[in-house]
Structures are given as C-alpha cells and as structure tokens.
A and B are shown apart, each in its own frame.
Chain A
Amino acid sequence: MKVAIPVNDKSMEASVSESFGRTPYYLIYDTESKESVFLDNSAIASQGGAGIKAAQIVVDNRVNALITPRCGENAAEIIQAANIKLFKTINDSIKDNLTAFVEGKLALLEEIHAGFHGHGGT
C-alpha cells in the first residue's frame, strides 16, 4: 500500500509539514517494499488553488492513503473523489506516523478546514 505524507525535507528524519497544499515535499512510502520517494511540491508557490494542485500530484502518484495534520476543503474533495483514505497525523515524526498507520492505529481526518485563501494560517 502506498501512502503520502507532506514533509519539510527529503529525509525520513524530517518533520511532517503543517500544511498539505504548501508543503515543500511529499514522502511517498510503500508499506510492502518499504521504499520511500520524496517529491517536490510544485504547488507550493501557487498564487491560489495550491491544495487542488497538490492533491492532483498526490492522486497522480496512485497512493492509497494520505496522512496529514490538516487538509483544506478543495483538496479533500479531490482526495475523496479519488477514493484515497485521509488520515490524521499523531505527531510530527514521519516514522511514528508510518508505524501507527501500519498498525492500523491512525484515525481518519474528520476536520476539513475551509481553506486560508490568501489569509495566511500557520
């Protein structure tokens, strides 16, 4: 099974990014082969609609699940349309989240925010 996580650097030791749409990189991790690939997020500098473009990248990489601290409504609509499961991170450690995911201990991300749309957020 392939999972995607927004991350702050191209390393398994890096932290999970607070933002799904404007994260610098995505980790695409294969739970069977234990293979990890880091992708640049070309949506990061978008004037608008970063979440939409980012979700397209994740979908195009044929992942089965997305693990993220939060997700905006447009991105969530795409992730759901692609039948990708959306899970909430437990902390900012990539390894902790992957372990919890493999053990089936991650909860689904229920809270979808309306998007910041030019109004910041942290």
Chain B
Amino acid sequence: MKIAVLSGKGGTGKTLVSVNLAASAIDSCYIDCDVEEPNGHLFFNPKDIKTENVSVKIPSVDNKLCSGCRKCIDFCRFNALAYIKNNLLIFDDVCHFCGGCVLFCPEKALSEKDYAVGEVQRGVSGNVEVITGILHTGKESGVPIIKTLLENLQGNKKFTVIDCPPGSACTVMESIKDADYCLLVAEPTLFGVHNLNMVHELVTLFGKPHGVVLNKCQEGDNPAEEFCLEKGINIIGKIPFENELGTLNAQGHIAVRKNETYREFFSSMLQIVSKGVQNEATTHP
C-alpha cells in the first residue's frame, strides 16, 4: 500500500507525519520525494547506504551536420537552443529533456547525451527502508529523480510512505501518481486552508482516496477543520500543538520511537488509512 503525504505549502508537517507513519509500521518503506530539500534521512539516519546516480537525456549537436533550419529552436517551448553565427548553442540547464528537438532535426545533427541531475540513496533504519531522492543544486526539474524513486518499488513492504514536495506542481503529481491514498497535512490558519484547497483539488482531479491530518491543533477555531467539515473531507487525525512533540522533532528524533503515546497515535492513523484504502477497493474495484 502506497500512502502519499502532501500539503499545499512547506512547513505544515509532511515529514513529521511521513516519518512517524513509516516508523510506526512493522515493515515499511519511507521515500523522500522532496528532492530539492530532502530531510527525512535526518530523522532516520539510515545505514548501509547505496547510491545510484540519476541522469537524463539532453541534446548534443554536431554543427557540421546542422543546416540552420531552426526547427529545433521553434519547437522548444523552454527556449533551450539558439542559432548564432552558423552554430547551434544548447543551454543544458534550460532543457527539460523532452527529446523533441532530436526527433524534429531533419539533418540528424542532434543526438542525445547523458546529463547528471541528481542521485537516489537507499539505506535502512531499523524496521524502515529509507529511500532519498536528491536533486543537484541548480538543476531544473526533480521529476526524473522522483520517477527513479518510485519505479521498480519492491512490493514486499506492507506500507510505503511517500513524503511529497510542497505545493501542487509537476513534482507532486509525479509523486502521487501511483499512490493508493493521499494524506493531506494542514495547518489551522486561513493561509493553511488556501493551501489545503489547492492540494485537495489536485487529489480530487487525480481521483485519489484521501483524508486530512490537522497539524498544530490548539484550542479555539481551526479554519482547516471547518473547511474539511464543509467539504465533507475525512479527518484522519488531529496532531496537538505541544511542546514534547515539537522538542523531539526539533532534536531530530522520531516521536514514535521515543514515546508510546505517539506510537499509538500514528499506528491508529495508519490503520484508519489502511481501512480507507480497503473500503475504496471494495466500493470501486
């Protein structure tokens, strides 16, 4: 079962929820898809790390064959190519590696070359297999790394928790594409509601079973909770805004490994999600 944890903005508690859900399961896999700033590994401290490089195919030109027709330039919506003084210039960092220019070149002057964009690290932390995606600084898109993270996932883990990037852009869509369930983490503010609405639209568009975790809950109004009640969205759990959890997290500890109350809390959250997925499977087989 693949559970994607996402939110419309950073800092709502995606990693807190993801790390603790994965650590509360008996046999699980945690995948950090927030490749621009992966931080789940700081909590897990995984051992026996194996690193795999991730590269994409970008165009390379043989200017002796180029006739200067500019079909590649006209095709590229990211403007990664220019034709100056009878030479085709390629801007590697601007390319989104769609491969279209190579297909369009009538002179076969363009070919593909490997271009390193990041890496994937696999390690183990107790009961959890920890997989981290890392985008090299300055590289344009994390999507190829997320693809590498999520392809060939061994099905031997009961739970796979996917810690998504913030927002609702391409990298998030890639991260939730094959998820069985989407868990949306929200803050109790109006700003939080706005961001929750964005990701809620996204998971609705993708037709994913989903529920909300309300984080940083305090006494008084919770606009995110009101939003869920109004829209009829399942509330899977309410995480209290409390000193002990904040302290454990800030010290880089995994709360469920330090405190039995938190272990029970996240275990029950995992069971609720698990039931939600099974119900979905029986009602929409």
Do A and B interact?
yes
Q: Which of A27-52 contact B (CB under 8 A)?
A: 43, 46-50, 52
Q: Which of B55-114 contact A (CB under 8 A)?
A: 73, 76-85, 87, 89, 91, 94
A93 in contact (CB, < 8 A)? no
Question: Within the complex, what minimum Cβ distance (angstroms) separates B215 from chain A?
Answer: 28
A56 and B73 contact, CB distance less than 8 A: yes
B79 and A50 contact, CB distance less than 8 A: yes
Partner of A74, one of B73, B77, B87, B91: B91
Which residue of chain B has its CB nearest to the CB of A48?
B78
Question: Within the complex, what minimum Cβ distance (angstroms) separates A65 from chain B?
Answer: 16
Report the stretch among A3-11, A12-20, A77-85, A101-109 that lies at the interface: A77-85
B89 and A78 contact, CB distance less than 8 A: yes
A67 in contact (CB, < 8 A)? no
Q: Which of A50-84 contact B (CB under 8 A)?
A: 50, 52-53, 55-56, 59, 74, 77-78, 81-83
A43 and B82 contact, CB distance less than 8 A: no
Residues of A near B81 (CB, < 8 A) are 52
B84 and A52 contact, CB distance less than 8 A: no
Residues of B near A48 (CB, < 8 A) are 78-79, 94
A47 and B82 contact, CB distance less than 8 A: no
Residues of A near B82 (CB, < 8 A) are 52-53, 55-56, 59, 78
B91 and A52 contact, CB distance less than 8 A: yes
Interface residues on B, range: 10 to 19
Residues of B near A43 (CB, < 8 A) are 79
- Report the separation of the CA atoms of residues A19 and B81 in the bound assembly, to the nearest whole angstrom: 20
Given A43-B79, A56-B73, answer yes or no on A49-B91 (Cβ-Cβ < 8 Å): yes
Question: Within the complex, what minimum Cβ distance (angstroms) separates B236 from chain A?
Answer: 34
Residues of B near A47 (CB, < 8 A) are 77-78
Which residue of chain A has its CB nearest to the CB of B79?
A49
B79 and A82 contact, CB distance less than 8 A: no
Given A56-B83, A82-B84, answer yes or no on A77-B89 (Cβ-Cβ < 8 Å): yes
Which residue of chain A has its CB nearest to the CB of B87?
A81
Question: Within the complex, what minimum Cβ distance (angstroms) separates B117 from chain A?
Answer: 16
B85 and A53 contact, CB distance less than 8 A: no
Partner of B85, one of A46, A49, A55, A82: A82
Q: Which of B156-197 contact A (CB under 8 A)?
A: none
- Report the separation of the CA atoms of residues A43 and B78 in the bound assembly, to the nearest whole angstrom: 10
Most chain B CB neighbours (cut-off 10 Å) among A46, A53, A59, A77: A53
- Report the separation of the CA atoms of residues A46 and B89 in the bound assembly, to the nearest whole angstrom: 18
B79 and A78 contact, CB distance less than 8 A: no
Residues of A near B73 (CB, < 8 A) are 56
B78 and A49 contact, CB distance less than 8 A: yes
- Report the separation of the CA atoms of residues A50 and B94 in the bound assembly, to the nearest whole angstrom: 10
Residues of B near A56 (CB, < 8 A) are 73, 82-84
Given A77-B89, A81-B89, answer yes or no on A52-B94 (Cβ-Cβ < 8 Å): yes
- Report the separation of the CA atoms of residues A47 and B140 in the bound assembly, to the nearest whole angstrom: 13
Which residue of chain B has its CB nearest to the CB of A49?
B79
B85 and A52 contact, CB distance less than 8 A: no
Residues of B near A78 (CB, < 8 A) are 82, 84, 89
19 contacts between A and B (CB under 8 A): A46-B78, A47-B77, A49-B76, A49-B79, A52-B79, A52-B82, A52-B94, A56-B83, A59-B84, A74-B94, A77-B89, A78-B89, A81-B84, A81-B85, A81-B87, A81-B89, A82-B84, A82-B85, A83-B85
With contacts A52-B94, A59-B84, A81-B87 known, what are 18 further pairs, Cβ within 8 A?
Answer: A46-B77, A46-B78, A48-B78, A48-B94, A49-B76, A49-B79, A49-B80, A49-B91, A52-B79, A52-B80, A52-B81, A74-B94, A77-B89, A78-B82, A78-B84, A81-B85, A82-B84, A82-B85
